[in-house]
Amino acid sequence: MSDVVLSARGLAKSYLSGDRRIEVLRDVTLDVAAGESVSIRGESGSGKSTLLNLISGLDAPDSGTILWAGAPPAGERRARYLGMVFQSFYLIPELDAEQNVLMASRIIRSPGAAERARARDLLARVGLADRARHLPMQLSGGERQRVAVARALVNSPRLLLADEPTGNLDEHTGDAVIDLLLDLCRATGTALVLVTHNAAHAQKTNRSLFLHTGALR
């Protein structure tokens, strides 16, 4: 596979629960190419969020390797290389939509004119050009998630991870957010790994995988 942005090999992860060790992931292998969309489904507790935490570098596997474009995940690379969208929006209530989008830029540098223009462009692309000065409490759930999508893309990441991004949305709004994510990733060449329980959403991605008993199929 050319231009692999994510390569995971033989990932295993377990946790202690009392005197028992619970195996969550075992020998998980996954490659994702630039611009490719991959969905991961599985029962509740199957380890989907654990896998995303490993891929993002927020947690370390017990064994196995993770490479971002051939190099190990590193904290200083994360803000540029990786974008994340969650089920909860995690917007700062006191900041308007544009300022919330710019929070991701602040991890790298103090936002200047180019960063502010990028934030406004992304808000326009997610259909919120006229809502840039609105606070989160003035936005609907779907609009808040659109702000979160714009924030995840503001640093032009090569890889976007989305963990149940429609979990707090109604069906119609959730469908619109998934279509938006896929359209933006195709337009920017950003790879997408989508964790979802929704089979219809999974079918819209280039590849649909299932996590069961700790293994990815």
What is the layout of strands, in order, in the sheet containing 63-68? Answer: 20-33, 4-17, 63-68
The confidence score (pLDDT) of residue 176 equals 94
Q: Averaged over 33-58, what is the pLDDT?
A: 93
For the chain, which residues make up each domain, given as ranges? 4-216
Is the four-CA dihedral 198, 166, 188, 217 of positive or negative sign?
negative
Which CATH superfamily does the domain covering 4-216 fall into?
A: P-loop containing nucleotide triphosphate hydrolases (3.40.50.300)
39 in Cβ contact with 201 (< 8 Å):
yes
Tokens of 135: 């606070």
pLDDT tens for 90-142 read 999 999 999 999 998 888 878 889 999 999 999 999 999 999 999 999 999 99
pTM exceeds 0.85: yes
Alpha-carbon span 191 to 108, nearest angstrom? 21
Averaged pLDDT score across all residues of the chain: 93
119 in Cβ contact with 102 (< 8 Å):
yes
pLDDT tops 70 at residue 2 = no
Alpha-carbon span 46 to 64, nearest angstrom? 19
Tokens of 21: 């060790």
Tokens of 112: 């200047």
